[in-house]
Every structure is written in C-alpha cells, then in structure tokens.
C-alpha cells in the first residue's frame, strides 16, 4: 500500500514527496465519479514512487468514493468546510463530518470560494483551524488576480494572504499551501517558471512553516507542462482542476514528477 504520510519518504522530514491533488469542483455524478475513481486507482501503483495522489470530489460523492478508495493508497479530500463544529448553518459541512467519512485533506480558500462566496483571509484562517481541529490537513489556497500581477502587486498580495490565512497551530506536517494565480485557473495560461519559482520561494520563506512545508502549484497544470513546473525546487506538487477529470491526464501529471 502507498504510504500516505505527508512526508512519506520513510526518512523523517528530510524530503518532500510530491502531492498531486485533483479538485473535481462541481463535476460528477455517481456513475462517472466512480468510473473516474476506478481509473485513478488502476494507475496509482505505477506512480506511487513519484507522488501521493489525492482526489477531492463534490460533497455528494465523498462517502461513496471514500469506500471505493479503501486500501488503494489514493487519499480522499473535500473542497471546503465550515469554520464551526456544528449548528444552524444550512448547506454547510463541518470538518469533523468530512473526517468521519474518510477525508484526510480539505481545500480551503480556493479562489472560486473567495470570489463566489466572498470568503476573506480571516474566514479561510478559521476554516483551516477547524480542519486542523478535526485532524484534517487543510490545503490553504492563495494567489493573485491578473490585475494584481499586472500592477506588480503579486508578492505583496501573496504575503498578505499568507499572513491572514494560515492559522495558529499549522505546521509543515499538518498543512499544505497551494499557490494558484487566479488568472491561470481554467484558462490554459500559466505564469513563467521563474514567476512560479519566485512566489514559491516567498511562500517557503514567509509562511513561517519551515523547509518541510509542501507547496502546490495550481492553475492550468496539465501533462505537457507538469514536468517543468514540478521540477522547480519549491514546487511540491499540483492542485489540478480540469485535468483531474481525466484519469489519464491526472496520472500523467503524477508520472511527470521528477
Ligand atoms: C483549480 O481550480 O484549483 C485549478 C488549478 O484548476 P485548473 O487546473 O482547471 O486550472
């Protein structure tokens, strides 16, 4: 079975294993979600030496896909959680509920949540804190808009999001950061590799989470650009949207990891 430790190299925290995470967003019904899961599972062994695999289906599929994934070594995650433990929050899902159905990770602060639901750094921070309290690993998303990049504000924006979104108690062992330039998500456009390297180096330095932190890149990652992105020193994996809906592409990205 694939070792699912965040730093599953068997040598403590000296090396960061790549994490290839699929964010299915609001896609998939039972039949196609299960078919995609089975295809990912079928290819998981072949990439186990390269990367840890994670799938984050919509809430409706989590339980069933979790059952299908049992023993496969592919980890299960969710795309959001509420900051509170329980209560009158219609339509929301608590972190402990996700842990209860087998989730190990939860994405928080995705730019689509920040845009569609007006989530602030403070709310993302509270959600990440709730995830930690439930024993989940939050994947905390940050990234600049196109206007912010064009006006030279990328590093300032990322620095401020890091400061606001990372909760007390987060460490390199229990949290992951995903750098996702908003303008690169679902557009087919990506920053240049020096631009990605610059932001990831800043995240490593200024997150306060130390040298063992896993930092994912997200935004139009696909098989054809995965190697150049994953080969960068501070890129420890990918958060994959569109390409995670095709098992062959998702697995090819993991296979491309150096
Ligand atoms: C995402 O939404 O996290 C993402 C990176 O999407 P895409 O890969 O489709 O750009």
Helix and strand counts by DSSP (H, E) for the chain: 10, 8
107 CA: nearest ligand 1 atom: 3
Residue whose C-alpha is closest to residue 42's, from 18, 65, 73: 73
- For the question of residue 180 being annotated catalytic, the response is yes
pLDDT tens-digit map of 32-83: 999 999 999 999 999 999 999 999 999 999 999 999 999 999 999 999 999 9
DSSP 93-138: -BHHHHHHTT--EEEES-HHHHHHS---HHHHHHHHHHHHHTT-EE
pLDDT of residue 11: 38
Residue whose C-alpha is closest to residue 50's, from 2, 14, 96, 91: 2
CA 176 centroid distance within chain = 7
Q: Is 186 in the pocket of ligand 1 (CB under 6 A)?
A: yes
pLDDT of residue 6: 46
Q: Reply yes or no on whether the pLDDT at 5 is more than 50.
A: no
Question: What is the 10 CA–ligand 1 centroid distance (Å)?
Answer: 30
Domains and CATH numbers, the chain: 18-255 (3.20.20.70)
**If you average pLDDT over every residue of the chain, what do you get?**
94
pTM above 0.75, yes or no: yes
């Amino acid at each position: 079975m694939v070792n699912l430790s965040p730093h599953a190299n068997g040598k403590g925290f000296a090396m960061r294993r790549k994490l290839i995470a699929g964010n299915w967003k609001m896609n998939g019904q039972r039949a196609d979600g299960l078919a995609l899961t089975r295809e990912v599972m079928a290819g998981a062994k072949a990439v186990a030496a390269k990367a840890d695999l994670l799938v984050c289906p919509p809430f409706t599929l989590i339980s069933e896909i979790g059952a299908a994934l049992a023993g496969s070594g592919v980890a299960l995650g969710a795309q959001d959680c509420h900051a509170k433990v329980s209560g009158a929050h219609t339509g929301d899902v608590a972190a402990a509920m996700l842990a209860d159905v087998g989730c190990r990770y939860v994405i928080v602060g995705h730019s689509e949540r920040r845009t569609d639901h007006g989530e602030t750094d403070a709310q993302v921070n509270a959600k990440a804190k709730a995830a930690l309290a439930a024993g989940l690993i939050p994947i905390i998303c940050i990234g600049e808009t196109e206007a912010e990049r064009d006006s030279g504000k990328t590093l300032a924006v990322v620095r401020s999001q890091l400061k606001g979104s990372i909760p007390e108690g987060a460490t390199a062992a229990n949290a992951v950061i995903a750098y996702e330039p908003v303008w690169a998500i679902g557009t087919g456009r990506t920053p240049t590799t020096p631009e990605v390297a610059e932001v990831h180096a800043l995240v490593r330095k200024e997150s306060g989470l130390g040298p063992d932190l896993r930092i994912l890149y997200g935004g139009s990652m696909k098989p054809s650009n995965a190697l150049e992105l994953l080969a960068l020193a501070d890129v420890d994996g990918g958060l994959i949207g569109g390409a995670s809906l095709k098992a062959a592409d998702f697995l090819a990205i993991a296979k491309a990891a150096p």
